[in-house]
Amino acid sequence: MPTEPLFHPISAATEPFIDIEFDGRRLEVLGQRSVAAALLAAGVSRFRSTPVSGAPRAPYCMMGVCFECLLEIDGVANCQACLVTVQPGMKIRPQEGARSWEAVHTAGGGSDEDTTEASHAA
Ligand code: FES
């Protein structure tokens, strides 16, 4: 959910804006920075929810350590938004709860093994 931005870029007037999609809505964000920085500057304050309680989370360390910035970027789950450079046309979604097996297999991020419960029961 976009809100009033907590962060304001120092040099916004000289930097290009790009269009991305966040949670199904078009957003115009500053380019040439990480996805996390671009979304925070655009007022996005909720990036994911925790798998256990569903508590909202947002970037904390901005350097790849805390994993609070996980998003689904262009269909790939578990992307650390602070380590990915924002690109025009990106389709970004909040990561809700735990990563699903379907997301692993459709994004090509998993192995070719059949890891469904049915295969374990056999
Ligand atoms: S903000 Fe900590 S890993 Fe991205």
Q: What is the pLDDT of residues 2-50, one digit of tens each?
A: 677 777 766 655 678 999 999 999 999 999 999 999 999 999 999 999 9
Which of 35-39, 55-59, 114-118 is the least confident region? 114-118
Q: Domain span at residue 104?
A: 12-110
Neighbours of 89 (CB within 10 A): 9
Q: Any idea what the CATH number is for the domain that residue 99 is in?
A: 3.10.20.440
Q: How far apart are CA 31 and CA 86, in angstroms?
A: 6
Q: Looking at the domain assignment, is residue 67 inside a domain?
A: yes
> From the CB of 80, is ligand 1 less than 6 Å away?
yes
CB-based contact 28:38 (threshold 8 Å):
no
> Is residue 81 included in any domain, yes or no?
yes
Query: For residue 117, is it within any domain?
Result: no
Lookup: tokens for 50: 């925790």
The domain total for the chain is 1
- Pseudo-torsion of CA 108, 21, 1, 61, nearest 10°? 60
pTM, whole model, 2 decimals? 0.75
| 19 CA from centroid of ligand 1 (Å) | 23
For the stretch 94-109, pLDDT in tens is 998 776 666 555 554 4
On the question of pLDDT at 112 being above 60, the answer is no
Whether 1 is covered by a domain: the verdict is no
Q: Tens of pLDDT along 66-89?
A: 999 999 999 999 999 999 999 999
28 CA to centre of ligand 1 in angstroms: 22
Strand, coil or helix: 76: strand
